[in-house]
Amino acid sequence: MRRVLAVTALLLATSSATSAPARGSMPAGIGSDPVTVRLDRSAIDTSLGGRIELTSTVRNATRQPMSGLIAHLNVFSTDPGTYVDPEDWSSHRTQFPAAVPAHGSVALTWPVQAVNSGRLVVYVAVTDVQQHRVTVSMPLELTVSKRQTVDPGGVLPLAVGVPGAVAVVLGLVLLRRRRTA
């Protein structure tokens, strides 16, 4: 009986180890990943051009301090017709957090600006280069509404007025020329 239990335990342990990379894509906090990452929000509504700040918490579930982690922010659109360049969204998309203490965590802030409208997904991936492991946060669902205005910043009177004034002068000159001809 003991031998059967030992074999079963060994099989379970092996199964757990081999499925670890796949579990990296599972929601943070589920399973027994040594590193988990969690975003502070799961959904945000904003408008085009809006600036938001996200906070991700990288947690070390092991008994040893962990260093050499690399956190990376990514964003993509769920609409296949929308091209998203993540570089436009944030100029600081990769961070190298300091050593995470045993059973401790570090918080990373990500300034993001909404550059595309529509439904988008944001997530943070943490790579442990030494262990060849990538852990991904739960996706943050971002809804960016369009901003449409006919007169952005009140520029319209100027944009119409200056060419209008030149057109009036031109008209007067043409009128004068016609009269003198």
Which position among 34, 50, 86, 118 is part of the footprint of other proteins (CB under 8 A)?
50
User: Toward other proteins, which CB reaches closer, 44 or 66?
Assistant: 44
Contact region with other proteins (CB under 8 A), list: 29-37, 58-66, 75-83, 162-170: 162-170
Residue 94, strand partner residues: 72
With a CB cutoff of 8 Å and minimum separation 6, the contacts of 156 are: 150
Tell me how far, at minimum, the Cβ of 82 lies from other proteins, in Å. Answer: 16
159 lines the binding site for other proteins (CB under 8 A): yes
179 lines the binding site for other proteins (CB under 8 A): no
Do the Cβ atoms of 124 and 36 come closer than 8 Å?
no
| Residue 35, token pair as written in the block | 């590193």
178 lines the binding site for other proteins (CB under 8 A): no
53 lines the binding site for other proteins (CB under 8 A): no
169 lines the binding site for other proteins (CB under 8 A): yes
Task: Write the secondary structure of the chain as one string of H (helix), E (strand) and C (coil).
Answer: CHHHHHHHHHHHHHHHHHCHHHHCCCCCCCCCCCEEEEECCCEEEEECCCEEEEEEEEEECCCCCECCEEEEEEEEECCCCCCCCHHHHCCCCEECCCCECCCCEEEEEEEEECCCCEEEEEEEEEEECCCCEEEECCCEEEEEECCCCCCHHHCHHHHHHHHHHHHHHHHHHHHHHHHHC
User: Toward other proteins, which CB reaches closer, 49 or 104?
Assistant: 49
User: Toward other proteins, which CB reaches closer, 6 or 158?
Assistant: 158
91 lines the binding site for other proteins (CB under 8 A): no
Residue 134, strand partner residues: 127
48 lines the binding site for other proteins (CB under 8 A): yes
Contact region with other proteins (CB under 8 A), list: 68-76, 103-111, 133-141, 149-157: 149-157
Which residues sit at the interface with other proteins, rule CB under 8 A?
A: 48-51, 113, 115, 147, 149, 152-153, 155-156, 158-160, 162-163, 166-167, 169-170, 173, 176-177
